[in-house]
Structure 1
Amino acid sequence: MALLTLGINHRTAPVEIRERVAFTPERMAEAFSELRAATGASEAGILSTCNRTELYLAGDDDCAPALLRWLAGFHELDAADLENVIYVHRDSDAVRHMMRVAAGLDSMVLGEPQILGQLKDAYALAREHNATGAFLSRLFEHTFSVAKRVRTETAIGENPVSVAYASVSMAHQIFADMSRNKALLIGAGKTIELVSRHLADAGVRDFLVANRTLERAQALAEIHGGKGIVLSEIPDYLADVDIVISSTASPLPILGKGAVERALKKRKHRPYFMVDIAVPRDIEPEVGGLADVYLYTVDDLRQVIEENVRSREGAAREAENLIASGVQDFLDQLRALDAVSTLKVFRSRAESLRDAETEKALRALRNGTDPETALRSLARGLTNKLLHQPSTQVRKAMAEGRTEVADLLRELYQLEMLDADEPTTTEKL
């Protein structure tokens, strides 16, 4: 079984490109329906976050070119535009990459915990669409186990600096006393929930949460004594807030330049701090060109995050060792499974030969053949049939110079070299 990972992430491409290959929840069913048919893969998985889009395929052949063409076509892009920003991992490298992703070692924020949950969601989604089989299921489950070991046995997750935390840290550069500022959070998912906690810790007391569904917005806002609204109400409240942080799965921008311009006129040059964590982006890029607006995307948070990377280098080395061990364990499991499968076929073939020769001997006995003659004929026939194909293949391999095949045969059957003049067992019979 060949394993292939094709992806794009924060290291290989800016947000302007990443948002164009992101998979929205609304199109996941369509994507899974097309993906395996277009590539010939037997199993598939899709991970799509603000920092990366990755496709995991398992099948009999390397389908990277077909996969790239499909990804570009699905998002109405030219494949040539993606060739320089994608990465491809195969087999053991693909296993290692998935484990590094799950452990947070390939994240913008080294060791960030959210990616493991996102990868688990991707696995659940693939299973929901009947896209995974024994191979990818085994890989995902083993990957989660390794990531758990990394979390519990290293300090990679201590004092985490997430994208959410980095966003609030940057807000401090604009507002010294955040207790006097009102925050608008767009979305109500895990990232926004984390943002709300960090803002509360930083002193923010006045919260407004906007979401597609009012119930979820109210549930999150009430934790901090705030108010929940629906997305369409944002323009009505925008002039009253100072901090805007957005993270939704919307395929189109939620906050446009026109709405912000109208709000700025009412604010009389009081500055806005905005962070757009979403991919695709929730806030139109043109908003960043307005006076008194400090707009940042997820890519702008690197400086805060790089400090986190330096502080965790020792833990990262320990994590890499655990992952190397995890990769080897997974490959050993696959080899063991392959050996079991091969041995089953080997035993089944031997039993078929045995049954055929036994039936021949029984027919001979029923026809009056001497029992001793029938027994010797059975033994000779079974021996010849069992040894014919291996003998043919060993002679062929030796003629081609592959002497290791003969060495393996001696190891398998614990053979000692016979003297040239000594007859073989078959000859004795």
Structure 2
Amino acid sequence: MAIWALGINHKTAPVSVRERVAFNPASMPQALLELCNVKAAEEAVILSTCNRTEIYGSSSAFDWQRVRDWLAQHHGIDRADLESALYIMEQDQAVQHTMRVASGLDSLVLGEPQILGQMKSAYAVAQEAGTVGSELGRLFRETFSIAKRVRTDTAIGENPVSVAFAAVRMAQHIFADLRSSTALLIGAGETIELVARHLKQAGIRRIIVANRTLARAQHLAEEFHAEAILLEDIPEHLSDADVVISSTASPLPVLGKGTVEKALKRRRHKPMFMVDIAVPRDIEEEVAELGDVYLYTVDDLRSIIEENVRSREDAARQAEELISAGVEHYMRELKVLNAVSTVTDLRAHVDQVREEQLLKAIKQLQNGSDAEKVLRQFAHTFSNKLLHAPTIALRQAAAEGRMEIFDTTRELFQLGDDDIAGNDDE
């Protein structure tokens, strides 16, 4: 079975492309089943975050074009546009990539901790959908173990600079003093919770949390002494917001150009700073055309995040060493498992040949045949049956000049110096 990974991320595609192949969490189980039903994969896990959409799979015969075609068709995107941003990895490279992603080494924010939880969630969804078997089960168990070691044995996660932190830092660049500002946070997930925490630490005067469900917004609001509203109430409160930071799982924008225009008029065109962390984007792209709005996406946070990369270079090198050791261990164990399978099949084959010939010998004895003659015939036929296929293979190897197979044969059967090619009994 081949282990493989195929996807796009923040390095290969802008947010305008990434959002087109993002998976809605509610549709993920069905997408996994579709992927396996069209024979694009035998086992599959799909990871979809603001910075990447990746498919991890296992197939007896990997056809990356079939996976690409399914992904393009599923999202209604031209496969040529998709292919220019795709990366494909197999076997040890795919294993290494999976471990690097889980450890935060392939993230926009080096060492960011959220990705491991997102990957565990993606794995759990695939398990529930029934698209995880022994191959991916073994890979992800080893991956989570390595990611845990990277977290505990290196400094990669110390004082993490998250996307949430970068968004608040950018807001501080726009507003010299946030203590007189109001922030509207759209969404109530882990990223928005981090945003709220960083804003509080920066001394923000007021926070409004808008969410699809009021209970979740209220839970977050209580922790940070904020106000909770529903998404449909945003137009009434938007004019109060100096800072808008959004991160939901909505497949469609939750904030449009018209709504922002009306809010700006009520604000008498006092500037608004907006960061759209979501993929697909929460804020319509056309909002950036408004003169008093500074709209940024997750891709615009790179300059702040690059400081984080430089400060973690030593820890990253240590993490890469742990991952390399993890890949080596995983591939070695995989070879051992494959060897066990081969040995099991070999023993089963020998047992089958022996039983077939033994039944014939027993019948001959029951019919009164000479015992010594029966035993000699059994031994002769048994050895011929076992050696028939290997003998043909050895002759073919000799004809093709693959002489190393003879050394392997001598080693396997602990033979002397006799010429193997001349000792067959056919």
| TM-score bucket (shorter structure) | over 0.9
> Do 2:49 and 2:279's aligned partners in 1 also have CA atoms closer than 8 Å?
yes
> Do 2:184 and 2:243's aligned partners in 1 also have CA atoms closer than 8 Å?
yes
Q: Distance in 2 between matches of 1:97 and 1:424?
A: 49
Alpha-carbon deviation of 1:205?
4.4
Correspondences of 1:176-191 after superposition (within 5 Å):
176-191=176-191
Correspondences of 1:1-400 after superposition (within 5 Å):
1-400=1-400
Amino acid at match of 1:142: E
SS in 2 for 1:56: strand
Q: 1:389-410 CA deviation, whole Å, 9 max, x = no partner? A: 2222112212211111111111
SS in 2 for 1:158: coil
Q: Distance in 1 between matches of 2:29 and 2:155?
A: 38
Alpha-carbon deviation of 1:300?
0.5
Q: Distance in 2 between matches of 1:72 and 1:387?
A: 50
Alpha-carbon deviation of 1:15?
0.8
Q: Distance in 2 between matches of 1:15 and 1:373?
A: 80
- Which stretch shifts more, 369-378 or 197-206? 369-378
TM-score when scaled to structure 2? 0.95
> Do 1:246 and 1:282's aligned partners in 2 also have CA atoms closer than 8 Å?
yes
- Which stretch shifts more, 226-235 or 199-208? 199-208
> Do 1:380 and 1:426's aligned partners in 2 also have CA atoms closer than 8 Å?
no
> Do 1:38 and 1:67's aligned partners in 2 also have CA atoms closer than 8 Å?
no
Alpha-carbon deviation of 1:419?
7.8
Size of the alignment, in residue pairs? 425
Q: Distance in 2 between matches of 1:414 and 1:330?
A: 30
Alpha-carbon deviation of 1:372?
3.3
SS in 2 for 1:104: coil
Q: 1:419 and 1:13, CA in 2 relative to 1: closer, same or farther beyond 3 A?
A: closer
> Do 1:112 and 1:160's aligned partners in 2 also have CA atoms closer than 8 Å?
yes
SS in 2 for 1:44: strand
Q: Distance in 1 between matches of 2:424 and 2:243?
A: 88
> Do 2:45 and 2:132's aligned partners in 1 also have CA atoms closer than 8 Å?
yes
Alpha-carbon deviation of 1:118?
0.8
Q: Distance in 2 between matches of 1:67 and 1:88?
A: 10
Alpha-carbon deviation of 1:45?
1.6
Amino acid at match of 1:299: D
User: Structure 1: any 5+ residue segments left out of the alignment?
Assistant: none
SS in 1 for 2:8: strand
> Do 1:39 and 1:63's aligned partners in 2 also have CA atoms closer than 8 Å?
no
Q: 1:181-202 CA deviation, whole Å, 9 max, x = no partner? A: 2211110111111111111111
Percentage of matched positions with identical amino acids: 58
Amino acid at match of 2:387: L
Q: Which residue of 2 aligns with 1:407?
A: 407
Q: Distance in 2 between matches of 1:384 and 1:8?
A: 55
Q: Distance in 1 between matches of 2:123 and 2:149?
A: 19
> Do 2:32 and 2:129's aligned partners in 1 also have CA atoms closer than 8 Å?
yes
> Do 1:40 and 1:63's aligned partners in 2 also have CA atoms closer than 8 Å?
yes
Q: Distance in 2 between matches of 1:353 and 1:80?
A: 53
Q: Distance in 1 between matches of 2:351 and 2:330?
A: 32
Q: Distance in 2 between matches of 1:357 and 1:336?
A: 32
User: Structure 2: any 5+ residue segments left out of the alignment?
Assistant: none
> Do 1:2 and 1:90's aligned partners in 2 also have CA atoms closer than 8 Å?
yes
CA RMSD of aligned residues (A): 1.9
Runs of 4+ in 1 over 4 A off after TM superposition: 423-427
Q: Distance in 2 between matches of 1:58 and 1:131?
A: 10
